A and B are shown apart, each in its own frame.
Chain A
Amino acid sequence: MTTVSRREILQASALSAAALGAAALAAPAMASPLDHARMLPEGLPPREFAAAVAELRAIVGQQWVFADADSTLPYTKSLIPDPDHRHVPSGAVAPASVEEVQAILKVANRYRLPLWPISTGKNMGYGMATPASSGQMVLDLKRMNRIIEIDAELGTALVEPGVTYQDLRDYLDANNLPFWLDVPTVGPIVSPVGNTLERGVGYTPYGDHFFMQCGMEVVLADGTLVRTGMGSVPGSTSWQAFKWGYGPYLDGIFTQSNFGVVTKLGFWLMPAPPAYKPFVVQFDEMDDVAKITDTIRPFRMNNLIPNGVLIMGAAYQLAMFHRRADFWTETRQIPDAVVKAEARKRGLGMWNTYFALYGTDEIIAAVEPIVRGAFEAAGGKVLTATEMSDNPWFRHHASLMKGGMTLEEIGIVRWRGTEGGMVAFAPVAPAKGTETRGQTALAKEILAKYDFDYAPAYAVGGRELHHIIFLLYDKGHPAEERKADACVREMITRFAERGWAAYRTGVSTMDLVAQQYGDANRALNARIKHALDPNHILAPGKQGIA
């Protein structure tokens, strides 16, 4: 069992008396942002920052502006490498309403105060709540937590940014609404709004979250309130029913962007099917990823396999419930033979492909032999709950593929040390075996150069895969943190030399990934940004857009 050491407890107690005390143990006079030397927005003199903070406190209430180093502490936590401390926020402000967001933006425009919006700030592999550049003030939307509408006939939801998947699950259960959610791997503590806006994925047939999104409300930098799609029509009853509206489709420009603050988001809920059957297919060689890709492609194209499939590498699976030192104590990359042997002991393959069938028993009975036959012909071992019901990894994925709440995958962050450390590099691969084999080989080579292990998950879309490469390191060792930073940058650069770029990235590499998409793309985004946010107060640097 992992323990919390006495040293940690003593340190924490001391911290609680000082740092935490201001926020949590009493209600002292508000700390001034000028009390101590600290991170401030670039180009904003300290007295102007203090004046802006005073105005923000007048809008949201004193307790909802965090403008001293101590109360800002929870916003600084990040698991990705930041060896030069380039992603430290100056503070945070937490509005409770759209009107408060609009008022905050007025203040931000006047003072040129950069704001970094978050919904729950639990973007684990990409920087949590931390901004693209130091000094930005976090715009924490967690207090905006209303489930505004659930339409039980259409199976649609409209929620605010602070609603978590757990909140929504609890609401559906409490009201006996027969819908499944589609969750990312950290569902209980994250927001459908935040995950969808980052174009995250899940593992049911509704796994492409942005595809299932329908309508949003956005506050632009000048305070203008816009509803996208049918939401622009006064009295519309189809805001959450029809995505495209009329004229240019706008929702996309507010995802992975800094063009506005999304304050409401609509999306579709999956009707709970009468029958559900999860599967895992195991392959034993690293190179088998090509066969898996080529086998699964036609089933995702024709939708016989309807869900967001995960092809889980063995090291990723092991890292969920184990630590590296359980298997390997050398510094260099853990060899495939060791990973394979340890995986086998636990009933896992080198690759573990999780998919599910949904519908009625007749539908599943008709489809299963077709899919099973194809995987078996490719050399895979097809297993179901009959053989795997006691296997914790199978149970985990069987739950995910029906939208179950779990945080078990967070365990991977402690693979190398108790302080945690993880950054995701997620290049897109077309669904062709030659491409996934090439990406796996290149990732292993670069990671080995830096003594990191290859812990991958391929998330299969329709005609592509997100190759999510979790670089697991020990943030408790500064030299290793710096090495991890260099490693992820080399992966981004060298993958791009082969035409492979990330679909999403952490705050420390947003500009680097934007470079891979070329000058014309960047210039267009810059023009839209400047038109919508001429003072560049919203999340400068997000996705490489200043």
Chain B
Amino acid sequence: MSRARSLGLTAIGVMAFTTLGALPFAMAAGAQPAQIKPGQTSPEPRSPQRIYAATCGYCHGANVGPVIMGRHLPQKAIMAFVRKGQGAMPAFRPTEISDTELAALAAWIERAPAVPKEHGQ
């Protein structure tokens, strides 16, 4: 690696910090930045797509858990799997995925087409 390029990389890093330091990201303790509110505490239920990407999709279709998209598994079965923790799967509680979110998520998975890039194990 040339000295010029590596200096450039370093400079980018420094610049990023300098710029951020000038922005008002630091907040007083107790202040609330944009809230992250999973579960029922959320003012709006999260979309099935978002929940699938942030939770289910790390295992299902990712070589860890079985593929569930495109198999038209019944909504009620999916809901029970999630709450019970089917087989080797962890259980997810209403404090993590609200009842409203779970019903929508399971209905969405039941209807969903297969995702070609997913693979089971």
Contacts and interface: CB of A to CB of B under 8 A. Distances in A.
Contacts of B103: 24-25
Contact of A77 (B36, B65, B84): B84
Given A3-B66, A361-B5, A274 B13 contact: yes
Contact of B58 (A3, A148, A362, A405): A405
Given A73-B83, A145-B38, A149-B29, A178 B66 contact: no
A410 B64 contact: yes
B34 to A, nearest CB: 7
B9 A8 contact: no
B120 A2 contact: yes
Contacts of A170: 36, 54
Contact of A414 (B13, B36, B88, B102): B88
A17 B76 contact: yes
Interface in A38-91: 63-64, 66, 73-77, 79
A153 B26 contact: yes
Contacts of A16: 76-77, 79-80
B9 A274 contact: yes
Contacts of A76: 91
B64 A153 contact: no
Given A74-B84, A152-B23, A171-B34, A122 B90 contact: yes
Nearest to B29: A149
Nearest to B58: A407
Nearest to B62: A408
Interface string A199-226: 0000000000000000000000000000
A419 B87 contact: yes
Interface string A481-512: 00000000000000000000000000000000
A288 to B, nearest CB: 28
B74 A13 contact: yes
Nearest to B27: A149
Given A2-B66, A4-B86, A73-B84, A94 B17 contact: no
Residues of A in contact with B, size category: 35 or more
Interface in B38-56: 38-41, 54-55
Contacts of B27: 149-151
B92 interface: yes
A273 B12 CA distance: 10
B36 A408 contact: no
Nearest to B103: A24
A142 interface: yes
B67 A1 contact: yes
A295 interface: no
A30 interface: no
Given A24-B103, A77-B91, A239-B29, A146 B35 contact: yes
A162 B40 CA distance: 13
A74 B23 CA distance: 43
A419 B89 CA distance: 8
B118 to A, nearest CB: 10
B70 to A, nearest CB: 12
Contact of B121 (A1, A158, A175, A272): A1
Given A9-B77, A23-B99, A153 B21 contact: yes
Given A1-B121, A145-B36, A360 B10 contact: yes
Contacts of A392: 63
Nearest to A170: B36
Contacts of B37: 145
A150 B25 contact: yes
A20 interface: yes
Given A1-B121, A12-B80, A150-B33, A360 B64 contact: no
Given A2-B65, A13-B74, A142 B95 contact: yes
Given A13-B80, A16-B79, A188-B55, A414 B39 contact: no
Contact of B66 (A1, A23, A121): A1
Contacts of A410: 59, 64, 88, 90
A324 interface: no
A537 interface: no
Interface in A161-208: 162-164, 166-167, 170-171, 174-178, 188-189
Contact of B88 (A66, A322, A413): A413
B79 A152 contact: no
Interface string B91-107: 11111100100110000
9 contacts: A8-B77, A12-B78, A20-B83, A124-B90, A143-B40, A145-B41, A148-B30, A407-B62, A414-B87
Given A2-B121, A143-B41, 20 more contacts: A4-B86, A19-B84, A74-B91, A74-B92, A128-B90, A142-B95, A149-B30, A152-B20, A162-B38, A163-B36, A170-B36, A175-B34, A176-B20, A189-B55, A273-B13, A360-B6, A407-B62, A408-B64, A411-B64, A420-B89
A-B complex: 8 closest residue pairs judged by Cβ atoms:
A420-B88, A1-B120, A152-B25, A77-B85, A77-B91, A142-B95, A407-B58, A12-B80
